Amino acid sequence: MSRADRAVLGAYGAAVCAAAYGSMKLAQALGANALADKDPLPPELRERLLARDPLFVASHWVLAGAAVVGVVVALAAVRPWGAAVPRRLLLVVAWGLGIFMIARSVGVLGFGFVGDGLLLAGVRPPPVEHAALARDLARWDLLLWSPFFLLWGICWTATGRGLAARAPARG
């Protein structure tokens, strides 16, 4: 598969991931559970999330809107109408989101394969008062969220690589 083909596949993959994530956040904003109880949050924030605290409802609307923007940006990287968007902006967004999502999936940001693995292996002890919940959320993060963010991040970086390869030569 050529680099251009990988970039197109990455852009469409990023758009699909953004649409899936945005759909979930929209459902949560409208009152559905939609995996909200599987969100790896500290217990006090998790309770506020599940109680539909107005701040969390507002954040779901913002994230749903950001996901729509993500779909548009991903498609702008490979569709003809995207030529109207500055390439440098697309590059910054694609690489920035790709690196952020891969870092999140690996565990640099506290969640991810490393943190969840350490918690489930007993190397990093969970909070005593919430040990069962912490283990349950770590399993969900390890099996669902971290792979999802890794895939999404890989799609964004493939998009960024394709954009960089297509950048006009200077000289």
Q: Is residue 170 part of a domain?
A: no
51 inside domain: yes
**Residue 111 pLDDT grade (very low, low, confident, very high; cuts 50, 70, 90):** confident
Q: What tokens does 118 get?
A: 């350490």
Nearest residue to 8 via CA among 116, 43, 16, 121: 16
Helices (H) and strands (E) counted in the chain, each on its own, are 7, 0
Domain total for the chain? Answer: 1
Mean local confidence (pLDDT), 6-24: 96
The pLDDT value recorded for residue 168 is: 60
Q: Are 3 and 159 in contact (CB under 8 A)?
A: no
List the domain range (segments joined by +) for residue 63.
Answer: 3-165
Does any domain span residue 45? Answer: yes
C-alpha count within 13 angstroms, C-beta hemisphere, residue 34: 15
* pLDDT at residue 87 tops 50: yes
In a domain, 171, yes or no: no
CA 74 to chain CA centroid, nearest Å: 13
What percent of the chain stands above pLDDT 70?
96
pLDDT of residue 23: 97
pLDDT at 167: 56
Lowest mean pLDDT, pick from 44-53, 70-79, 94-103: 44-53
Q: What is the pTM of this model?
A: 0.90
**Could you tell me how far CA 106 lies from the centroid of its own chain?**
12
According to the model, what pLDDT value does residue 59 have? 94
Residue 117 belongs to a domain: yes
- 49 found inside a domain: yes
In a domain, 103, yes or no: yes
Q: 3-state DSSP call for residue 23?
A: helix
Total residues belonging to the chain: 171
